[in-house]
Amino acid sequence: MNTKPALLSAHPIADNIRTRVLQALDQIEAEHHVKVLFACESGSRGWGFASPDSDYDVRFVYVHRLPWYLTVEPQRDVIELPISDELDVSGWDLRKALQLLRKSNPTLLEWLDSPVVYREDAAQAARMRALAPKFFSSLRGRYHYLAMAKKNFRGYLQGESVRLKKYLYVLRPLIAVRWIDAGKGMPPMRFADLAAGVLDDHALIDEINRLLAIKMSAGEAEYSPRWPAIHAFIEAKLEGAERNPDYKRPQGDASELDRFLMDVVMAQESA
């Protein structure tokens, strides 16, 4: 029996980094008078192919107390800490996050599926994850991932020597397009799960694994010659990919998001 090879994957979060992240979240709650509903790892450490010197991209969703939502003028709905060493911490207010969920924002959907969760309000995070599939738009997701793949391919993979990480920044969205086209719904954040669901070419998987092994042991800026099987796969998928002009049409019933926002804000007010 010719078993399909598994893809390499790792989500290294050092204990001292996890402690720093939790301290940063505590600091944010105290200084901004908010509650963090959940915080996760985004980027390459969440995708499962970080380099040893990759940043820690911490992303979170938070809620204010009721008076913040009752002002005439809209207020800033993003909290960002200055990047410190390799730690990059930023988050969205819950109303902003739900507006983006209404639009099937792929970045937010990935946060909700991150394999690395630093902290969460279990009940509210579970409700938000349960809402996500109701608002997922295959057209919008496909457009997002296809545009990302095209941009990175044109910008970084045209020479004979290419930056290793950029192959993965094209491969991952292209495989996500394939996942969506196969009718599988929301693409998983973890690259190994994503690829396992749609790739059957053993030679291509082996070459991707060789690329991953180097990427996960080399620096972020590492270059190499082109990888023939991967490059051919990318060119073939980009050549045949088209986008539907109706991709902005929203999905789902927005009143569910309104109820969720109201419930969470009122729970915070009575806490």
- Kindly report, residue by residue over 87-141, the tens digit of the pLDDT: 999 999 999 999 999 999 999 999 999 999 999 999 999 999 999 999 999 999 9
The pLDDT of 154-168, averaged and rounded, is 91
Q: CA–CA separation, 26 vs 80, rounded Å?
A: 14
Contact 176, 188 (CB under 8 A): no
Give percent of the chain with pLDDT exceeding 70.
Answer: 96
Give the rounded percent of residues in the chain with a pLDDT score beyond 90: 85
Distances (CA, A) of 44 to 138, 178, 189: 23, 20, 10
- pTM for this prediction: 0.93
**Average of pLDDT values for 3-18?**
92
Q: Could you tell me how far CA 239 lies from the centroid of its own chain?
A: 25
The per-residue b/e assignment along 238-266, b for 16 or more CB within 10 angstroms, e otherwise, is beebeeeeebeeebbeeebbeebbeebbe
- With bands split at pLDDT 50, 70 and 90, how would you rate the model's confidence at 252? confident
Q: Is the pLDDT of residue 245 over 90?
A: no
